[in-house]
Amino acid sequence: MSTLEASAAPVGGPALAQERRLVTAIPGPRSQEILARKASAVARGVAHTVPVAAVAAGGGVVVDADGNSLIDLGSGIAVTSVGNAHPAVVKAVQDQAAQFTHTCFMVSPYEGYIAVAERLNALTPGDFEKRSALFNTGAEAVENAIKIARHFTGRAAVAAFDHAYHGRTTLTMSLTAKAMPYKTGFGPFAPEIYRAPTSYPFRDGLTGPEAAKKAISVLEKQVGGDQLAAVIIEPVQGEGGFIVPADGFLPAIQEWCNAKGIVLIADEVQSGFARTGTMFASEQFGFTPDLVTTAKGIAGGMPLAAVTGRAEIMDSSHAGGLGGTYGGNPVACAAALATMDVYETEDLAGRAAALGALMREKLETVQASDPRIGEVRGLGAMMAIELVDPATKEPDAALAGAVAKAAIAEGVVVLTCGTYGNVLRFLPPLSIGDDLLAEGLDVVASALAGVKA
Ligand code: PLZ
């Protein structure tokens, strides 16, 4: 029995009415029906945040099966930066699908993959010769970056940081810091992973160089720099709470890695592709990693991921050592080439900076009269508020959850994050209009005001 009729769905993309529109309670009857099927067909572990069934999305809205139009402040977790159905991406996907959907790059290579690699080599930080390899998901890119670093160095140990998120596969969940929901019950974990404190200015009160010294000291004592194959770090931490490191932290880590022959990997899966106001967040910290992992914003919503970095490191693996059936799928590559054009022609990095300024101003205004907002932080269109007990700075996850729930009920898609679950993050599509973004934040502000201290 199919209850979703394609003919009933509006066409997605920027042509959708750019408005918040509630025609039923959230979730409406059709969404409820579909989500009841989800409960009996889809594994319970695959949860969802917004209890509606999407039928179209674009610009800055998600439209559900009942005709509600929700303001999107989540971009499908930082993916649809160019929008959910950018016309150039849609056309590239259609054209490529009509040509061929797959040959397997390891069987019969095709130009699209190579063109994506060339673009990534040019776009990523670092003025040195680079190579890229393409994969399907962020986790797969991280896995491969670690494999490459181990092969290149001949060492086993890998360091990750507190509050890190790198994925859900066995190796990447081992790198991920947070137990619940990502790790609990899913062990044993991958060996030879060590964890260092990060720079978290709101909570550690340290300067960047002080925080780096602490992290390096932990790693030198617990494993030894000369034993480490790789250090992996998100330049702005995503799932861990949109934590922006203090100035000087990342360059000091880089200096130490370079001195010890450790491959430095920047995980820009969430912070990459114009999101933070530059093509990659690393650029804003004077930070030049050896390898960069990318995914999410790379291909306008199509599954694609990459490892890009120094040619001598990337080329160290023997032929046949890297790959996968679908990695660098031709349709995803066509989408990526169109998406990377859009970042440039529409100056979406500039747009991200402007949206970030708008968000910061509005959120700081709310903070001025509500001390439960412990901190407004972020970079470009990757902004967040950390909710706390004003007296003690204790994280207030219950408040964050209640505000997100209330905002969703009022037609705004808003996501939480943070090790303590007390951060509301705002990462709208860069195709959202100023007015819609402002309205979305107003809804969040009144949701916050409505939850009593
Ligand atoms: N590295 C920095 O943010 C994915 C996770 C959502 P995949 N973040 C969203 C969830 O709950 O599963 C992410 C990331 C960073 C790696 C990943 C992993 O990317 O494409 O989800 O595998």
Whole-number Å distance, alpha carbon 164 to ligand 1 midpoint, is 11
Instruction: Label residue 295 by pLDDT band (50, 70, 90).
Output: very high
| Ligand 1 pocket member 272 (CB < 6 A) | no
Please give the pLDDT value at position 11: 81
- Domain 29-82+347-450 and domain 87-345, same fold? Reply is no
Residue % of the chain over a pLDDT of 90: 96
Q: For residue 6, is pLDDT > 60?
A: no
Q: For residue 148, is pLDDT > 80?
A: yes
If one looks up domain 29-82+347-450 in CATH, what number appears?
Answer: 3.90.1150.10
pLDDT in tens, 19-39: 999 999 999 999 999 999 999
| Domain 87-345 part of CATH 1.10.10.10 | no
Please give the pLDDT value at position 9: 66
Q: For residue 3, is pLDDT > 80?
A: no
Q: For residue 133, is pLDDT > 70?
A: yes
| Ligand 1 pocket member 282 (CB < 6 A) | no
| Ligand 1 pocket member 242 (CB < 6 A) | no
Please give the pLDDT value at position 13: 84
Instruction: Label residue 392 by pLDDT band (50, 70, 90).
Output: very high
| Ligand 1 pocket member 387 (CB < 6 A) | no
pLDDT in tens, 163-202: 999 999 999 999 999 999 999 999 999 999 999 999 999 9
Q: For residue 116, is pLDDT > 70?
A: yes
Whole-number Å distance, alpha carbon 269 to ligand 1 midpoint, is 7
Q: What is the mean pLDDT of residues 229-245?
A: 98
The residues, ordered by sequence, that sit 6+ positions from 65 with a Cβ below 8 Å of its Cβ are 4, 28, 30, 31, 34, 52, 53, 54, 55
| Ligand 1 pocket member 382 (CB < 6 A) | no
Q: For residue 391, is pLDDT > 70?
A: yes
Please give the pLDDT value at position 7: 47
| Ligand 1 pocket member 349 (CB < 6 A) | no
Where along the chain do its domains lie? Answer: 29-82+347-450, 87-345
Whole-number Å distance, alpha carbon 419 to ligand 1 midpoint, is 14
Task: List the Cα angle 110/295/104 in 5-degree steps.
Answer: 25
Q: For residue 453, is pLDDT > 90?
A: no
Q: For residue 452, is pLDDT > 90?
A: no
Higher-confidence position of 242 and 6: 242
Q: What is the mean pLDDT of residues 341-345?
A: 98
Please give the pLDDT value at position 8: 56
| Ligand 1 pocket member 425 (CB < 6 A) | no
Instruction: Label residue 67 by pLDDT band (50, 70, 90).
Output: very high
| Ligand 1 pocket member 436 (CB < 6 A) | no
pLDDT in tens, 72-94: 999 999 999 999 999 999 999 99
Q: For residue 5, is pLDDT > 60?
A: no
Whole-number Å distance, alpha carbon 449 to ligand 1 midpoint, is 31
Whole-number Å distance, alpha carbon 271 to ligand 1 midpoint, is 11
Q: For residue 286, is pLDDT > 70?
A: yes
**28 backbone dihedrals φ, ψ, rounded to 5°:** -80, 175
> From the CB of residue 99, how many other CB atoms can be counted at a distance below 10 Å?
12
Per the prediction, the chain carries an average pLDDT of: 97
pLDDT in tens, 239-281: 999 999 999 999 999 999 999 999 999 999 999 999 999 999 9
Ligand 1 atom 1: the closest Cα is on which residue?
A: 166
| Ligand 1 pocket member 269 (CB < 6 A) | yes
| Ligand 1 pocket member 147 (CB < 6 A) | no
Please give the pLDDT value at position 340: 98
Strands 263-267 and 228-233: parallel
